[in-house]
Amino acid sequence: MTSQARYGRLLASLSALALVSFGAALAQAQDDATTDDSDETASERLTTDETSVGPPPEVPHVAGSASPEPATEPGIPEPASPHLASEAAADLPGVSVSFIAHSGGETPVDPAPPTTSGVPWLIELAMQMFAQYEVSFPDGTDWFHEIDVPRTWLSTSFRVENAIGRVLLEGTRAGGDGSLIGVGGDSLVVRFREAWLGYRLLDMLEVRAGLIPQLTTPALTSLWGMRAVRAISLRENELMQPADLGASVRFDFPEQFGFVGIAYLSGEGYRGRELNRGKTLEITAQIHPLAFVPDARPLTLTLAYQNGSTGTGSARADRYVGGLAWADPRWGLGVEATYVVGIADRRDRAGLGLDVWGRAEPIEHLLLGARYAHFFRNLSGSTSGDETGFFTGTVGTWIVEAIRVFLAFDARLAGDAARAEIPNFTGYALRLVFEGNLGARFEGAL
């Protein structure tokens, strides 16, 4: 038996053991849970709101999750699925305790409003993790395989009446991408990804300030719904950030028609400090134009504009984004286009990104997805072949509602100019991806 085969068999055995253990623990927790006839059920207490703290939107549902409950108000659908599972127990006097699971996106799920009377409060603790085993075959060099944890999140969200907030910690390599030396070699260290406070007014207007999630990338990621397998191209190419220092205001339209939001940001992202006097303005709208027709509500139009600068040279970072998608609970299809002015520190460079994606759950527990992104990296230059293509196809399942498993195939293409600038970009890879999301919600009244 080859070493590669031994590694594969060992990984499969460990994965199966972990999934069986988790399923047994979840089953035991369900058997131990107790409820009163007078208590609300978990499904009554938990709604499908994915980011807004006010009344929940009806958001797209990730294939492989439990069927979503109907919603009453729109908001930023981040991530695409509702809570996948819940189990409640009244363990403490006057305090409701719920265990929840949900799919990953570019920002954690915001808690649904408290259901208690008096001065309501809630605290939600959540953990999210992506883990993968990858075997890659880059062109022009030897194959390689590695075990990685692309995401480890721990978050605490709270609400007291209309005051809201969240702290999100993430694990990252100390040396950063491409570095071999950091803190303690290249240890996994913890940093803040979000830390903000906010207020929700009239269940329609929400204000946030601090290290906040941005508006555009979470909205588009929620429609795709398979963030554990692949990020959207805005994130892959570092064209827009998921979070930044600043403030945002969002208005949720009535009757589930969507939202519009504006954010005033540092422009350097959550990983960097301010490097110039310029700031970034982000305006995003996600609309369901046929929301008044129930069967046509999945039709989603996303429009976004970013006017910004980055780096010590105040390089332009302007983005014009448009997307059209059908985000049904069991299947989705979408196209997105992004016109870019300013790439990295090259303020005079313009580019164009084109994405097409699809996902489906043709039968229960069978998850299918595919995404292709083509990026023209220099429309303003005279050099031909400065473009890249990236295809991903995946098949997956969910063993328990808190854990999904995917097998993914990646293929990367590049023109001559892009290949010369990005060594070892082209090639293909196989990945085994695990996605886990679990949390606990505590709510009561003061």
Task: Give me the DSSP letters along 172-221.
Answer: EETT-TT-S-BTTBT-EEEEEEEEEEEEEETTTEEEEEEEEE-SHHHHHH
Please state, in angstroms and as integers, the Cα–Cα distance from residue 244 to each residue in 80, 266, 298, following that order. 22, 7, 29
Say what the pLDDT of residue 345 is.
75
440 compared with 36, residue with greater pLDDT: 440
Residue 156's contacts (CB-CB under 8 Å, 6 or more residues apart) are: 123, 124, 125, 126, 166, 167
pLDDT at 329 over 80: yes
The DSSP symbol for 295 reads G
Q: What is the Cα–Cα distance from 169 to 163, expressed in whole angstroms?
A: 21
> Which single residue is written with the structure tokens 């995917």?
406
Say what the pLDDT of residue 408 is.
98
Backbone angles phi, psi at 416, to 5 degrees: -60, -45
DSSP collapsed to 3 states, 157-173: EEEECCEEEEEEEEEEE
The listed range with the strongest mean pLDDT (156-160, 169-173, 381-385) is 156-160
Determine the length of the chain: 446
Say what the pLDDT of residue 55 is.
36
pLDDT at 205 over 90: yes
Q: In the CATH scheme, what is the homologous superfamily, with its name and number, of domain 33-445?
A: Porin (2.40.160.10)
Say what the pLDDT of residue 101 is.
67
Q: Helix (H) and strand (E) counts for the chain?
A: 5, 20
Provide the strand spans (E) within 48-143.
Answer: 85-92, 95-101, 120-138
pLDDT at 20 over 60: no
Q: What is the Cα–Cα distance from 404 to 298, expressed in whole angstroms?
A: 23
Residue 246, classed as helix, strand or coil, is strand
Say what the pLDDT of residue 104 is.
66
Please, are residues 154 and 185 in contact by the beta-carbon 8 Å criterion?
A: no
- Burial readout 220-251 (b: 16 or more C-beta within 10 A, e: otherwise): bbbbbbbbbbbbbbbbebebbbbbbbbebebe
Q: What is the Cα–Cα distance from 247 to 87, expressed in whole angstroms?
A: 35
The DSSP symbol for 364 reads T
> Which single residue is written with the structure tokens 């609400």?
159
pLDDT above 90 covers a percentage of the chain that reads: 48
Please, are residues 66 and 84 in contact by the beta-carbon 8 Å criterion?
A: yes
55 compared with 293, residue with greater pLDDT: 293
* Domain extent listing, the chain: 33-445
The DSSP symbol for 358 reads E
Q: Which of 15, 51, 6, 7 is nearest to 250 (CA)?
A: 51
442 compared with 99, residue with greater pLDDT: 442
> Following CA atoms 330, 232, 336, 60 in sequence, which dihedral angle do they give, to the nearest 10 degrees?
30
Q: What digits encode the pLDDT tens for the residues 80-127?
A: 333 343 444 445 555 677 776 666 677 777 777 776 556 688 999 999
Strand partners, 133: 147, 432
Average model confidence (pLDDT) across the chain: 78
pLDDT at 278 over 50: yes
Say what the pLDDT of residue 172 is.
85
